[in-house]
Structure 1
Amino acid sequence: MTLDTIRSCYSEMFQAEKKVADYILKHPEEVVELNIAELAKRSETSDATVIRMCRHVGYSGFYQMKISLASELLGKQKKDVQSEQGSLKEFFDKVSRDIREAAEKMDQDIVKRCVNLLAEAETVYLIAWGNTGEIAADFAHRLTRLGIKSFVSDVPEYAIRSVGLSGKRDVMVAISHSGEAIHVIQALRLAREIGMETILITDTRQSDAAREAGYVLCTES
Structure 2
Amino acid sequence: MSSEISVRDQIFSTYGSLYDAEKKVADYLISHPAEAIEMSVSELAKHCEASQATIVRFCKKIGCKGFHQLKIKMAGEQRQQEEQVISNEINLDHMEQSLNNILGSKLEELKATYSNFDPKELREIIDLILQADMIEFAAMGNTIPIALDGTYKFNQLGLKAVSSTIWESQEAFSRLLREKDIMFAISASGASKHLLNMVEIAKENKAVTVAVTNQAKSPLAEACDYVLLTATREHIFHDQVSFTRMAAMSVIDCLFLFLFSTKWDSFKNVAEHEQSVAEEKM
Q: TM-score, normalised by structure 1?
A: 0.53
Aligned residue for 1:125, secondary structure, equals strand
Equivalence map 1:52-71=2 (5 Å): none
Structure 2 partner of 1:74: none
2:219 counterpart of 1:208: yes
Tell me which amino acid in the other structure corresponds to 2:115: E
- Cα distance per residue 1:27-69 (max 9 Å; x no partner): xxxxxxxxxxxxxxxxxxxxxxxxxxxxxxxxxxxxxxxxxxx
- Cα distance per residue 1:143-194 (max 9 Å; x no partner): 0111100010111112112211221131111111111111111111111111
Q: 1:158 aligns with which of 156, 165, 169?
A: 169
Aligned residue for 1:134, secondary structure, equals helix
1:209 CA drift (Å): 0.7
Structure 2 partner of 1:138: 149
Aligned residue for 2:176, secondary structure, equals coil
Q: 2:187 aligns with which of 159, 171, 176?
A: 176
Structure 1 partner of 2:3: none
Aligned residue for 1:164, secondary structure, equals helix
- Cα distance per residue 1:53-112 (max 9 Å; x no partner): xxxxxxxxxxxxxxxxxxxxxxxxxxxxxxxxxxxxxxxxxxxx89x4222222222111
1:220 CA drift (Å): 4.5
2:192 counterpart of 1:194: no
2:140 counterpart of 1:129: yes
Tell me which amino acid in the other structure corresponds to 1:176: S
Q: Does the Cα contact within 8 Å between 1:110 and 1:217 map onto a contact in 2?
A: no
Taking the aligned partners of 2:230 and 2:151, their CA distance within structure 1 comes to: 21
Structure 1 partner of 2:55: none
Aligned residue for 1:169, secondary structure, equals coil
Aligned residue for 2:185, secondary structure, equals strand
Aligned residue for 1:178, secondary structure, equals coil
Q: Percent identity?
A: 27
What do you get for the CA RMSD once the two structures are aligned? 2.0
Q: Does the Cα contact within 8 Å between 1:153 and 1:159 map onto a contact in 2?
A: yes
What are the ranges of 5 or more consecutive residues in structure 1 without an aligned counterpart? 1-96
Structure of higher CA gyration radius? 2
**How many residues are paired up?**
124
2:123 counterpart of 1:112: yes
What are the ranges of 5 or more consecutive residues in structure 2 without an aligned counterpart? 1-105, 233-282
Aligned residue for 1:168, secondary structure, equals coil
CA pair 220-107 structure 1, distance change in 2 beyond 3 A: farther
Equivalence map 1:57-96=2 (5 Å): none
Structure 1 partner of 2:229: 218
| Superposed structure 1 runs of 4+ greater than 3 Å apart | none
Q: 2:158 aligns with which of 147, 157, 175?
A: 147
Taking the aligned partners of 2:231 and 2:146, their CA distance within structure 1 comes to: 18
